[in-house]
């Protein structure tokens, strides 16, 4: 069996059940494991620590499959892990046609993301969408797809592994049909009483921001009779939720004309009054400043930008960008107004994000109160031993 032996004292994180082993923790590798091959990990004194997948080029040299020495890594292993993950969602997730079935390390399948879309229209069919972001799940792709189809009964599986992190694993970016038929041009899934058009093949991530479900529900709850501004709106997730909640007016900004076109289709599909929705194909930073200069004011603002800090090297620049949009956001709020603000940058932790937002409030000369800390839903669980899994951070604030 291919074996990794760790340097002295480098087994401590594994003893706490952290699922990653970095290259600088390894003393030597016995054998010549191929990318994705299963390896035994042993402490310097020879103690068994874990079974893991091997990645010869990544700084994360091994990702743990199991801390149980007696558990083999085979087709049955992946069938069990997939079934366990889906059972959690069946118990915990309600009122949605879009669910994250597999969330990587939290489900014992490091590097794997799987979203499941159940079509609202009976003429369409369900769709599984997968991202394989590490050599281990890439190696076991066939077994994983088989397990997913068996556990869900959905025959249609599409791959969206067009993510830059694969390059760090020595893998090419790839998309395409893994099983069944190609996805429709737009699939319609229902969430919280709202029908959303989802572009599985060309949309962001797997086609939809499944992680924001609970936060869309919260916006829907507070949007009644308010003027709402949604920045970086993509296909209008928060905008549609606000319209469903009875917002008087929703102004939405995004720099993608295609995304805005799909957002407007969503308005029509739900029977909302298009006069209540304004769509701006523009740069959000510049538009926020322009709206402030023109004296516009809103009762509820959503700031859900793309990832400003893809790595730690980008933290300082990202912090300035987050402060910029939040500063103008505070200035655009009427007294008593609500700000929903988010960061999906893994390199920006929750404490730093709160400090950035607090600095923006101070510079805007407003008194801001945190009403609620926000994050992803229960289908995005977090391992206590793996804080790196908490990529989405958010705050609901109110100004005096």
First-to-last alpha carbon distance for the chain, in angstroms, is 64
Q: What are the tens digits of pLDDT across the range 191-238? A: 999 999 999 999 999 999 999 999 999 999 999 999 999 999 999 999
Euclidean distance between CA atoms 120 and 128, whole angstroms:
15
Residue ranges of the chain assigned to CATH 2.30.130.10: 3-66
Q: What are the tens digits of pLDDT across the range 93-112? A: 988 999 999 999 999 999 99
Contacts of 247 (CB under 8 A, 6+ apart): 223, 224, 225, 226, 227, 228, 276, 300
Arithmetic mean of pLDDT over the chain: 95
Euclidean distance between CA atoms 340 and 299, whole angstroms:
11
Residue ranges of the chain assigned to CATH 3.30.750.80: 75-187
Active-site pick, 130, 154, 233, 344: 344
123 φ, ψ (degrees, to nearest 5): -75, -15
The pLDDT value recorded for residue 124 is 63
Q: What is the DSSP letter of 89?
A: H
The CATH homologous superfamily for domain 3-66 is PUA domain (2.30.130.10)
Q: Which two tokens stand for residue 388?
A: 């790196």
Q: Is 41 exposed, middle or buried (0-12, 13-18, 19+ CB in 10 A)?
A: buried
Task: Give the β-pairing of 98-103 and 60-66.
Answer: unpaired
Task: Give the β-pairing of 3-6 and 38-42.
Answer: parallel
Euclidean distance between CA atoms 74 and 95, whole angstroms:
34
In CATH terms, the fold of domain 209-399 is Rossmann fold (3.40.50)
Q: What are the tens digits of pLDDT across the range 125-176? A: 799 999 999 999 999 999 999 999 999 999 999 999 999 999 999 999 999 9
Q: What are the tens digits of pLDDT across the range 12-45? A: 999 999 999 999 999 999 999 999 999 999 999 9
Candidates 393, 281, 369, 285; CA nearest to 332 is 285
**Spatial contact of 306 and 254, defined as CB atoms under 8 Å apart:** no
SS3 302: strand
What's the 3-state SS for 16-57?
Answer: CCCCEEEHHHEEEEECCCCCCCEEEEECCCCCEEEEEEECCC
**Spatial contact of 259 and 253, defined as CB atoms under 8 Å apart:** no
75-187 CATH choice from 3.30.750.80, 3.30.460.80, 3.40.50.2300, 3.50.50.60: 3.30.750.80
Is pTM beyond 0.85? Reply is: yes
Residue ranges of the chain assigned to CATH 3.40.50.150: 209-399
Mark whether 154 is an active-site residue.
no
The pLDDT value recorded for residue 125 is 73
Euclidean distance between CA atoms 377 and 210, whole angstroms:
9
């Amino acid at each position: 069996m291919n074996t990794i032996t760790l340097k002295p004292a480098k087994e401590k994180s594994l003893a706490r059940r952290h699922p990653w082993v970095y290259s600088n923790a390894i003393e030597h590798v016995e054998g010549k494991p191929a990318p994705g091959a299963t390896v035994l990990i042993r402490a310097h004194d020879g103690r068994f620590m874990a079974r893991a997948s091997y990645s010869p080029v990544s700084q994360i040299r091994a990702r743990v499959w199991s801390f149980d020495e007696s558990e083999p890594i085979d087709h049955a292993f992946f069938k069990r892990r997939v079934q366990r993950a889906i059972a959690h969602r069946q118990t915990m997730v309600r009122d949605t046609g879009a669910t994250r079935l597999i969330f990587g390390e939290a489900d014992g399948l490091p590097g794997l993301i799987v979203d499941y879309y159940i079509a609202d229209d009976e003429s369409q069919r369900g769709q599984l969408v997968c991202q394989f972001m590490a050599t281990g799940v890439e190696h076991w792709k066939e077994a994983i797809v088989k397990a997913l189809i068996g556990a869900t009964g959905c025959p249609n599986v599409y791959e969206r592994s067009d993510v830059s992190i694969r390059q760090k694993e020595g893998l090419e970016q790839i998309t395409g049909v893994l099983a069944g038929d190609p996805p429709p041009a737009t699939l319609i899934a229902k969430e919280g009483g709202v029908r959303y058009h989802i572009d599985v093949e060309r949309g962001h991530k797997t086609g939809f921001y499944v992680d924001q479900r609970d936060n869309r529900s919260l916006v829907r709850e507070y949007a009644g009779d308010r003027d709402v501004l949604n920045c970086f709106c993509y296909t209008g997730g928060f905008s549609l939720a606000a319209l469903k909640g009875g917002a008087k007016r929703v102004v939405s900004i995004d720099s993608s004309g295609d995304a805005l076109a799909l957002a407007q289709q969503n308005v029509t599909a739900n029977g909302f009054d298009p006069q209540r929705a304004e769509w701006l194909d523009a740069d959000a930073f510049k538009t926020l400043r322009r709206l402030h200069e023109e004296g516009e004011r809103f009762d509820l603002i959503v700031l859900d930008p793309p990832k400003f800090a893809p790595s730690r090297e980008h933290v300082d620049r990202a912090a300035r960008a987050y402060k910029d949009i939040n500063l103008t956001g505070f200035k655009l709020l009427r007294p008593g107004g609500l700000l929903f603000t988010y960061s999906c940058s893994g390199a920006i932790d929750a404490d730093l994000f709160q400090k950035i937002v607090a600095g923006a409030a101070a510079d805007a000369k407003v008194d801001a109160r945190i009403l609620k800390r926000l994050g992803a839903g229960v289908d995005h669980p977090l391992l206590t031993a793996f804080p790196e899994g908490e990529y989405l951070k958010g705050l609901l604030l109110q100004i005096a």
